[in-house]
A and B are shown apart, each in its own frame.
Chain A
Amino acid sequence: MLRQLRRPNLAVGGGIVVLLIIIAVFAPLIAPHDPIHDANLMYAGEPPSTAFWLGTDDQGRDIFSRIVYGARIALTVGLLVEMMNAAIGIALGLSAGYFGGWWDEFVQGLTNVMLAVPTIVFALALMAVMGPGIPSLLVALGLTDWAYSCRISRAQVLSMKSSPFIQAARTMGYGPGHIMLRELLPNIAGPLIVVATMGVGSAIMAEASLSFLGLGVVPPAPSWGSMLAGAREQLIVAPWIAVFPGLAIFVTVLGFNLLGDGLRDLLDPQGRSRR
């Protein structure tokens, strides 16, 4: 009975993610209008219709087309940011767990610092220094949300360090690099993949939040978050501006979270990656 309840996670989550990738890749074929240049004030604030499926924004741009192209930004930022975070977190966590000593103390201290400052605040501070735009967004988010994968990989390495196959590898004269990357990493990959999958979702959410605040992706690029930025002022006259981009963020993040949950049942049945 349980199994039946849990399998949908993987299917629904995976389905959403695959669909998103298809939309992002084939955006020009799917979108009926240009997301940036088809601004026409004559059509500003049109409600959803056959011409504009999800309505138009305050500059007359087709919201559906902007959402379709927005998938490119969301996925690019989400995947790149999570790759950076995972790389930093795993590198620090693996080495801290493996070497121990002062390096471990240092990494743990750094992790505590990162945990004490909410990601969005750290990213805000970095954005303040670098200015808005996608490159600074990647750096700001990619450098600030690795504490979790670091903790998990460290804990996993500690629990595995003294197991026979690692000692065997050491006896055979393999160096730390080989042991960490070839022996340890594949064995702790399950929980890390789960954490990373969910991390893509939170990176997309963080990008949307920063763009909503006007400190992320710069207009007129069609970021879902920045599409919502002006929505509060238009809420009375054009509520659809607020509805659909947010729905896109919601479904996307939900997709990655469901996929993460489903992968956990598959790859990490003991739930080591549970928050």
Chain B
Amino acid sequence: MALVILRRLAQALITVAVVLTLVFLLFSVIPGNYVSSLMAEKRGVDPAVAARIAASLHLNDPTPLRLWHYFVDLLHGNLGVSFSTQQPVTEMLSGRIFASVRLALAAISFAIVTGLPLGYLAASRQGRWVDGVAMVFAVSGLSVPAFWFGLLAMYVFSLQLGLLPTFGYGGGDLAHLVMPALTLGIAPMALLARTTRAAVLETRNADFIRTARSKGMSEGRLVRKHLARNAFVLILTMIGLQFGAMLGGSVVIESLFAWPGVGSLLIQSVGLRDIPVVQGCILVIVLFFLAVNTLVDIAYLIIDPRIRYK
């Protein structure tokens, strides 16, 4: 079991390294670096000083060598310095990671709390009108552009009803979290509802459910002891994928609601071509995805004996 986890971690690390290399090579195509942006901003920089800085940052080295230095710095926890603010990237990211993860947690919680019951309801009324309505709702949730939904929510709940703040972080209060979280959670909710419905239908027709029925137990016990856990095994992967992708998926929502997270920082930095910050944001997004999915793999080891004893 420990071996399986170790192998998963190794795979995750390799994936991170490949992504970072790809991103690094991609950006090495763009002309310009820290020094040239410094030169452009502050006209008075002495070319000799600039050359010294460039040398100390290995900026004029060939690309493979610079990649090597990038990884060495990375292992020392140094993500470089922002072109635009001259701040260390780690410093810029640290506060924003918390805000992003907080938003993602709220959104996935909303998606789970609404999507799972909705999917279960649809499955238990398969073919009836409740099922039809629930599935139309789900496919709509998958198709609605989140930023448009957010705009409409803003108009209704902030501008017309005055119930919630329009945008911003609000020092971390709950009121500011509600709309971004619901907006971000709508597509995962729809997907989870569909996945749950399919999982419940598949499990309900399983032979062991027929066995359980033949034992003479109440419908409630059947669902609790036999159906729910087996269906959840099929749903958990989807929860992990949705949650893991959320830090990246939230870029649009974060910038719509001016949420001070990694996503809105990424958008700003892309606009400014602030490459070290872009690289830092992508690193965080990928690490989050891999961390979540590794946790899901570990969770499977705990809840599914078929995997545990392999």
User: Is the Cβ of B148 less than 8 Å from the Cβ of A228?
Assistant: yes
User: Is the Cβ of B278 less than 8 Å from the Cβ of A128?
Assistant: yes
User: Is the Cβ of A253 less than 8 Å from the Cβ of B255?
Assistant: no
A113-B19, A205-B145 known; A215-B286 Cβ under 8 A:
no
Q: Mark B273-296, 1 if CB is under 8 A from A, else 0.
A: 100001000100110011000000
State which of A2, A116, A257 has its C-beta within 8 Å of the C-beta of B286.
A116
| B286 partner residues in chain A, CB cutoff 8 A | 116-117
A116-B286, A129-B26, A274-B198 known; A209-B145 Cβ under 8 A:
yes
A236 at the interface (CB under 8 A from B): yes
Q: Which residues B23-72 have CB closer than 8 A to chain A?
A: 23, 26-27, 29-30
CB distance from A174 to the nearest CB of B (A): 35
Q: Mark A105-138, 1 if CB is under 8 A from B, else 0.
A: 0000100110011101100111111000000000
A208 at the interface (CB under 8 A from B): yes
A120-B251, A126-B26, A213-B267 known; A5-B131 Cβ under 8 A:
yes
CB distance from B93 to the nearest CB of A (A): 15
A129 CA to B149 CA, complexed, in Å: 30
A125 CA to B81 CA, complexed, in Å: 18
A46 at the interface (CB under 8 A from B): no
B107 at the interface (CB under 8 A from A): no
User: Is the Cβ of A121 less than 8 Å from the Cβ of B147?
Assistant: no
B180 at the interface (CB under 8 A from A): no
User: Is the Cβ of A261 less than 8 Å from the Cβ of B252?
Assistant: no
| B149 partner residues in chain A, CB cutoff 8 A | 246
CB distance from A105 to the nearest CB of B (A): 12
Q: Mark A225-241, 1 if CB is under 8 A from B, else 0.
A: 10010011001100100
A21 CA to B41 CA, complexed, in Å: 49
A18 at the interface (CB under 8 A from B): no
Q: Mark B139-158, 1 if CB is under 8 A from A, else 0.
A: 11011110111011011000
A117-B282, A246-B151 known; A215-B15 Cβ under 8 A:
no
A271 CA to B234 CA, complexed, in Å: 15
B147's nearest neighbour on chain A, judged by CB, is A212
B79 at the interface (CB under 8 A from A): no
User: Is the Cβ of B15 less than 8 Å from the Cβ of A5?
Assistant: no
User: Is the Cβ of A208 less than 8 Å from the Cβ of B145?
Assistant: yes
Max chain B CB contacts within 10 Å: which of A112, A121, A235, A243? Answer: A121
State which of A116, A125, A235, A261 has its C-beta within 8 Å of the C-beta of B155.
A235
| B142 partner residues in chain A, CB cutoff 8 A | 253, 257
The total of chain B residues at the interface (CB under 8 A) is 52
| B256 partner residues in chain A, CB cutoff 8 A | 232
| B249 partner residues in chain A, CB cutoff 8 A | 118, 120
User: Is the Cβ of B151 less than 8 Å from the Cβ of A117?
Assistant: no
Q: Do most interface residues of chain B lie in helix, strand or loop, or is the interface mixed? A: helix
User: Is the Cβ of A213 less than 8 Å from the Cβ of B252?
Assistant: yes
| B18 partner residues in chain A, CB cutoff 8 A | 109, 113
User: Is the Cβ of A250 less than 8 Å from the Cβ of B26?
Assistant: no
A47 at the interface (CB under 8 A from B): no
State which of B19, B252, B266 has its C-beta within 8 Å of the C-beta of A116.
B19
CB distance from A129 to the nearest CB of B (A): 6
| A5 partner residues in chain B, CB cutoff 8 A | 127, 131-132
| B198 partner residues in chain A, CB cutoff 8 A | 271, 274
CB distance from B268 to the nearest CB of A (A): 10
Max chain B CB contacts within 10 Å: which of A117, A205, A215, A250? Answer: A117
State which of A215, A243, A245, A250 has its C-beta within 8 Å of the C-beta of B143.
A250
Q: Mark A253-264, 1 if CB is under 8 A from B, else 0.
A: 110011001000
Residues of A near any B CB (own CB < 8 A): 1-2, 5, 109, 112-113, 116-118, 120-121, 124-129, 201, 205, 208-209, 212-215, 225, 228, 231-232, 235-236, 239, 242-243, 245-247, 249-250, 253-254, 257-258, 261, 271, 274-275
Question: Would you give 26 A-B contacts (Cβ < 8 Å), ordered by A?
Answer: A2-B126, A5-B132, A112-B11, A112-B15, A116-B290, A118-B249, A125-B23, A125-B278, A125-B282, A128-B30, A129-B26, A129-B27, A201-B143, A213-B255, A213-B267, A228-B148, A232-B256, A236-B159, A246-B152, A253-B144, A253-B145, A254-B139, A257-B139, A257-B143, A258-B139, A275-B191
Residues of B near any A CB (own CB < 8 A): 11, 14-16, 18-19, 22-23, 26-27, 29-30, 126-127, 131-132, 139-140, 142-145, 147-149, 151-152, 154-155, 159, 191, 195, 198, 238, 245, 248-249, 251-252, 255-256, 266-267, 270-271, 273, 278, 282, 285-286, 289-290
Which 5 A-B pairs have CB atoms at the shortest separation, nearest pair first? A246-B148, A118-B248, A254-B143, A253-B143, A128-B270
